[in-house]
Amino acid sequence: MTQPPPMVTRTNLPAHIHYLVGVDGGGSSTRARLTLRDGTLLGEGKAGASGLMQGIPQAWQNITLAIERAAQASTLGEQPLPDLHNCALGIGIAGYNHTGWRSAFLAANPGYAHLAADSDVFTALLGAYQGQPGALVIAGTGTVAQAQHADGRRSGAGGWGFPSGDEGGGAVLGLRAVNRTQQALDGRCPPSPLTHAVLQAAGPSAEALLVWCCAAGQAEFATLAPLVFDCAAQDTFAAQLLDEAVHTLERLALSVDPAGQLPLAIWGSVGQRLAPRLPAYLHARLVQPQADALQGALQLLAMHFAS
C-alpha cells in the first residue's frame, strides 16, 4: 500500500509547527504516525486501546504513549523533540460519534494547539479513497460502515458499540464463543473444538473462566475472535458465527450504498479474513484501499488547515 504525503503545505502551516502526527485510535490499539511538516515519514508507534467507550483518560494516555513511541522509533538528529507546541495532531478515534464522549475528549486535550479529530471510520474512509467517493466497511474489534457519495453526502451504518452492537466484529465473535463455552460447561450444549479452545485461552476451569469474564472488556473478548476462524472447519457453531458475520458485513455495505454503485473496501483484521467469504456481487466491487487510516488522519489534518 503506497503512502502519499499529506496535502499540507508549508504555506498554510503555522511557523511553529514542526511535525504532523496522524493517530488511529481503536477499541484494541492506538497507532501514531509522525512526519515532518512536508510529509516525510519519521516513525510509527503503537499503544493500547483508545476507543472513547473505554474512558477518556485511557484514550489520551494511549494516544500520548503511541506518539512517544513513534518519536522513539524516529531518527530525529538535531531536530527538536515532538511536543505539544510543535506538533499538529490529526485523530480518528472510535466513539467520536457519541456527543458526550466527544465533548469530554476534546475538553481533555492535554494542550495541542492544533487538533483535528473525527471518527476512526471517517479517517479510514479518507485514507481508502483519498477524499474521493467510495464505501468502506470496517470489521475489527467492532463493525461500522461509511460511504462518501459523488455529491459529497456521507452515509453511515453500524458503529453502535459493544455489547449492544458491533455484530460481526471481533469482540462479539469472542463474546459469542465464550457464551457457547459457558453453555458447554453447564451441559446445555455439547463441547466442541471451539469451546475447548476458549477454555485453553481463558480458563481452563469454570471458575477461571468466570473470573476472566468479569474482568474482560471488548478488547479482551476480541482476542478470542481468531479462535472462531481457527475452529470453523471442524466446528459447526464456529462456522455459523462466521456466516452470520459475513451477513452483517453484507448488510452494512448495502445500508450505506443501496444502489451498489460505489467501490467497496473492507478494513480491519476480522474484515480481511471475512472478505473472501462475501457474496460474489459484493466481491466483484472490492478494491484495495489507496492508503491507511493513519494517512486518513493526516489528510483530516490537511483539511483542518485548508479550512
Cis ω on the peptide bond leading into residue 163 (within 30° of 0)?
A: yes
- How is domain 10-130+291-306 classified at the architecture level of CATH? 2-Layer Sandwich (3.30)
Question: Per residue in 272-290, pLDDT tens?
Answer: 999 999 999 999 999 999 9
pTM: 0.80
| Residues 226-250, mean pLDDT to the nearest whole number | 97
| Residues 11-36, mean pLDDT to the nearest whole number | 89
pLDDT of the residue at 5: 42
Q: Which residues contact 216 (CB under 8 A, 6 or more apart)?
A: 202
pLDDT of the residue at 79: 87
* pLDDT band, residue 27 (cuts 50/70/90): confident
Q: Which residues contact 58 (CB under 8 A, 6 or more apart)?
A: 48, 49, 50
pLDDT of the residue at 13: 79
10-130+291-306 shares its CATH topology with 134-287: yes
Question: Per residue in 125-156, pLDDT tens?
Answer: 999 998 899 999 999 888 999 999 999 899 99
pLDDT of the residue at 3: 46
Question: Per residue in 32-87, pLDDT tens?
Answer: 999 998 889 999 999 999 989 889 999 999 999 999 999 999 988 888 889 999 99
Helix residue spans in the chain (DSSP H): 56-72, 99-107, 120-129, 170-186, 193-202, 206-215, 218-222, 225-231, 236-256, 269-274, 280-283, 293-306
Q: What is the mean pLDDT of the chain?
A: 92
Q: Is residue 239 within 8 Å of 274, Cβ to Cβ?
A: no
Question: Per residue in 184-214, pLDDT tens?
Answer: 999 999 999 999 999 999 989 999 999 999 9
Q: What percent of the chain shows pLDDT beyond 70?
A: 96
CATH class of 134-287: alpha beta
pLDDT of the residue at 75: 87
- Residue 193's Cβ-side half-sphere holds a number of Cα atoms within 13 Å equal to 14
pLDDT of the residue at 307: 64
Domain positions in the chain are 10-130+291-306, 134-287
